[in-house]
Amino acid sequence: MPDRYDSTFFALTIESGVAHLEMNRGDKANAMSPEFWVDLPRLAGELGKDPSVRVVVLSGRGKHFSGGIDLAAFQNILGLTSAEPGRGAEALYELIRRFQAALSSLEDLRVPVIAAIHGVCLGGGVDLACACDIRLASSEARFGIEEIEIGMAADVSTLQRLPRLMPAGIVRELAYTGRRFTSDEARGWGFVNSVHDSPETTLAAALTLAREIAAKSPLAIAGIKRAITYARDHSVADSLEQIALWNAGALRPEDLMKAIQARMAKQKAEFADLLPPAKL
């Protein structure tokens, strides 16, 4: 693996267009240490530059997906709250925005991200899952918006993204109470796509789905991700304009003909990779 993918928090493998990004702090329930917040956006940026990567699968090693933000990181936050009020507030604002940007790097990635969730997915873990395109869960997985338990409102993306993924009234109940909910509840509310028997079968299902997506036209997949994300934040009229402009600029006969011919021949089409980002 190239040095640019080195990380103290994550392990990474890439095979057949699928990048498997694993949180590698299983002995600490993959709690989000300072290294997480630095390495995630850096690795997402590098994966976005790699034309061989078509899908990312995100999972956690050990017994849990993630127990959320490492409480040790709160020492810095507490230090800011005791500083001169105006300057401390400004510094805390910048810190929160960096946390938010780290998770948004998954949403900004031009390829889909599939989360394979097992064990606990709490606090910041829910924020992380919300930033992914697709979520699969094992039957024993438990989720919780637990920031209320330490006297704060979740501020890294759950309260902003989750109401667009499941009913707002349910989100309010869970955020107000901090109660944990099951993978079956999460599926019933639309937060996870499917539930599997074990962590192993969950990851296997995520990798199978990733390979299926990786076999499609990467240009079309990139267009779909952009369109769905854009539509979430804009009006129908604006979103129709966006996809019309995208297809007018990006729709080309090569992928269309490959797909049509393969379908007629009952074969799988082979699509060219995306280009790496242009260098300035």
Which token pair is 184? 């079956």
CA distance 23 to 244: 38
Taking residues 166-188, what's their average pLDDT? Answer: 98
CA-angle at 60, arms to 113 and 211, nearest 5°: 40
Nearest to 137 by CA among 80, 184, 90: 184
Res 263: pLDDT: 86
Given a cut of 90, whether residue 38 has pLDDT beyond it is yes
CA distance 213 to 195: 19
148 is catalytic: no
70 is catalytic: no
10-15 and 194-196 beta bridge pairing: unpaired
155 is catalytic: yes
Which token pair is 139? 């039957």
CA distance 209 to 220: 17
Question: Which residue has 């995520």 as its token pair?
Answer: 206
Q: How confident is residue 257, by pLDDT bands cut at 50, 70 and 90?
A: confident
CA distance 13 to 22: 9
Which residues, in sequence order, are bridge partners of residue 113?
A: 56
With a pLDDT cut of 90, the percent of the chain lying above it is 80
List 60, 69, 123, 145, catalytic entry: 69
Res 116: pLDDT: 98
Given a cut of 80, whether residue 48 has pLDDT beyond it is yes
User: In the chain, what are the domains?
Assistant: 3-214 (3.90.226.10), 218-264 (1.10.12.10)
* Average pLDDT of every residue of the chain: 94
Res 279: pLDDT: 80
Res 196: pLDDT: 98
Order of strands, sheet of 120-122, starting from the edge strand that comes earlier in the sequence:
120-122, 142-144, 181-182
List 155, 178, 188, 224, catalytic entry: 155
Which token pair is 94? 């910048």
With a pLDDT cut of 70, the percent of the chain lying above it is 99
127 is catalytic: yes
Three-class DSSP labels, the chain: CCHHHCCCCEEEEEECCEEEEEECCHHHCCCECHHHHHHHHHHHHHHHHCCCCCEEEEEECCCCCECCECHHHHHHHHHHHCCCHHHHHHHHHHHHHHHHHHHHHHHHCCCCEEEEECCEEECHHHHHHHCCCEEEEECCCEEECHHHHHCCCCCCCHHHHHHHCCCHHHHHHHHHHCCCEEHHHHHHCCCCCEEECCHHHHHHHHHHHHHHHHCCCHHHHHHHHHHHHHHHHCCHHHHHHHHHHHHHHHCCHHHHHHHHHHHHCCCCCCCCCCCCCCCC
List 124, 125, 144, 223, catalytic entry: 124
Q: How confident is residue 100, by pLDDT bands cut at 50, 70 and 90?
A: very high
State pLDDT tens for residues 230-252: 999 999 999 999 999 999 998 88
Lowest mean pLDDT segment, chosen from 15-19, 104-108, 266-270: 266-270
120-122 and 142-144 beta bridge pairing: parallel
Which token pair is 270? 């082979």
185 is catalytic: no
List 127, 133, 146, 255, catalytic entry: 127
